[in-house]
Structure 1
Amino acid sequence: MSETIAAPDVTLPPTQAELPYDDGIPMESQRHKMQMDLLIDTFVTWLAEREDGYASGNMFVYFSLAQLKNQDFRGPDFFAVLGVPKVERRSWVVWEEGKGPDVVIELLSPKTAATDKNEKKLIYQNQMRVSDYFWFDPFNPDDWAGFSLEHGIYQPITPNAENQLVSQAVGLALLRWQGSYKGVDTTWLRWATLTGELLPTAEEKERQKADEAQQQAQQAQQRAERAESQLQQTAKNLLQSGMTVEQVANITGLSNSEIAALDI
């Protein structure tokens, strides 16, 4: 008589569909929300040229099952991951994705600064193993810093000659930019290429395309006007050489009336 062996009782870790993805806590201020949007928008625009990658902010990042019991800190204000599919997520679940964020940015406030600079920094270093970690205070732009994970320990990132903090993990730089974003003129933290070119927002990119199209149209019009002027000069020279209007029209393609209107 055969004996039925019961299947082992295996508890699978929860998926992103089963995990909480909203803690109901708003951003610290409108400036913080706008700064987060600026970082995400420009990075996503850069990702549009790639086949991989993900960026988001104020979203839970689940890196251990123990964290489900603690629930002791919110998700990063900004994080980005390369080498992953471009799909929507409710939250970032490391055991589903196979990796954690490559870069994290926290936006400081009087309430969060101590936690961001100490507790969270240690979590990103020791538990999440985030390659590059940065912080920035939207109301005090001088309070910014970056750290790169070397042999398991965060080492300060020294600003380069252009006063940029470079993230080797994503091959981009962060810089402080004085300008207007969504009607607010202040110093913003922005992504840039390693040559210092700002990553544009989607709106800025569309404006650039429109400006380039207008410039190309103007250049085409100028070329057409120069060609027309040269053709008219050729027609004048031919008339002055003794050719008839009909002969000049056959050579230049201008109409008889156009040739007759020339000031000779």
Structure 2
Amino acid sequence: MPFQSENSPVPIPPPGEDELPYDDGEPMESERHRAQMDMLIEVLKLFWHDRDDVYVAGNMAIYFSELQAKKNDFRGPDVFVVLDTNRRERKSWVVWQEDGRTPDVVIELLSESTEAVDRGEKMRVYAKLLHVPEYYLFDPFSSALEAYALDPATRSYAPVPPEANGDVVSACLGLRLGVRRGTYLGREAGWLRWLDAQGRVLPTAEEQARAASDEAKRLAARLAEYEKRFGPLPGSGSG
């Protein structure tokens, strides 16, 4: 249904992402929350760098109804993933501009100031209005992870039990989520990490660079040992 101006009875098209506010108005609660959000988004974008049919973002407004847009009432997930879409820069996610597509996965990072909303109003919106199949709650300081799957019949969430090691499986993404201790941006903590189907941690850009550097050093050491025993390789310029 198109919008109707207060000054004219003539229907007008609903606003798009260029007209709607794109900041969700909710600053991240701490540096740890911001770093955790950035890590989750960064790693998925690196992992799917060659795919144009996946959109990954966070702390961005999602508009799902004209009434919501009129009231300027919107929900901004900390992290969300949309499949079967096109990857492009967006100011906000406007459902009526996206052929009705809504997120497939949402992650909210809990804090004392947001937990009640994340477990209440946001959970209701994601289940009953946006029909998000998978919803995750994670506390960056206690490292507690909860997973929920949508029951399409009741449009409500049911808890998903973790595996023996505490990891949870994302059926939508074909990946896993689990807490692993490590260092990110100079902070050592128990971070929520994306894992592949075999449980291997998907690396950050920093981890990729470190692994490449370590491999280069390992190969250089092997070459040096070889040349020490057998002499320079032909055409190596050594010796």
Residue 204 of structure 1 deviates from its aligned partner by 1.3
Residue 96 of structure 1 deviates from its aligned partner by 1.2
Q: Aligned to 2:122, what secondary structure does the other structure show?
A: helix
Q: 1:19 to 1:72 in 2, by over 3 A?
A: closer
Match of 1:62 in 2: 63
Aligned residue identity for 2:188: D
Residue 176 of structure 1 deviates from its aligned partner by 0.9
Aligned residue identity for 1:122: R
Question: Which of 174, 182, 186 does residue 185 from structure 2 map onto?
Answer: 182
Please, what TM-score do these two structures have when normalized by structure 2?
0.85
Separation of aligned partners in 2, 1:69 and 1:139: 36
Whose Rg is larger? 1
Match of 1:122 in 2: 124
Q: Aligned to 1:148, what secondary structure does the other structure show?
A: strand
Equivalent residue runs for 1:70-109 within 5 Å: 70-98=71-99, 99-109=101-111
Structure with the largest fraction of helix: 1
Separation of aligned partners in 1, 2:140 and 2:40: 12
Residue 164 of structure 1 deviates from its aligned partner by 0.7
Worse-superposed segment, 179-188 or 125-134:
179-188
Separation of aligned partners in 2, 1:153 and 1:216: 53
Match of 1:46 in 2: 47
Match of 1:141 in 2: 143
Question: Which of 151, 169, 172 does residue 172 from structure 2 map onto?
Answer: 169
Aligned residue identity for 2:231: E
Residue 227 of structure 1 deviates from its aligned partner by 3.9
Q: Aligned to 2:53, what secondary structure does the other structure show?
A: coil
Is the counterpart of residue 212 in structure 1 residue 215 in structure 2?
A: yes
Percent identity (aligned)? 45
Separation of aligned partners in 2, 1:202 and 1:83: 25
Aligned residue identity for 2:46: T
Equivalent residue runs for 1:189-208 within 5 Å: 189-208=192-211
Aligned residue identity for 1:109: S
Q: Which runs of 5+ in 1 are unaligned?
A: 1-7, 232-257, 259-264
Aligned residue identity for 1:188: W
Please, what TM-score do these two structures have when normalized by structure 1?
0.77
Q: Aligned to 1:141, what secondary structure does the other structure show?
A: coil
Residue 89 of structure 1 deviates from its aligned partner by 0.7
Deviation string 1:194-221 (CA, Å, 9 cap, x unpaired) is 2111111112112222222332333344
Residue 228 of structure 1 deviates from its aligned partner by 3.4
Q: 1:111 to 1:55 in 2, by over 3 A?
A: same
Q: Aligned to 1:121, what secondary structure does the other structure show?
A: helix
Q: Aligned to 1:209, what secondary structure does the other structure show?
A: helix
Worse-superposed segment, 220-229 or 33-42:
220-229
Residue 73 of structure 1 deviates from its aligned partner by 4.6
Aligned residue identity for 2:69: L
Deviation string 1:96-147 (CA, Å, 9 cap, x unpaired) is 12211110001111111011012111110010111110011112223x2111
Match of 1:22 in 2: 23
Q: 1:15 to 1:73 in 2, by over 3 A?
A: closer
Task: Let me know the Cα RMSD of the aligned residues.
Answer: 2.2
Separation of aligned partners in 1, 2:85 and 2:213: 32
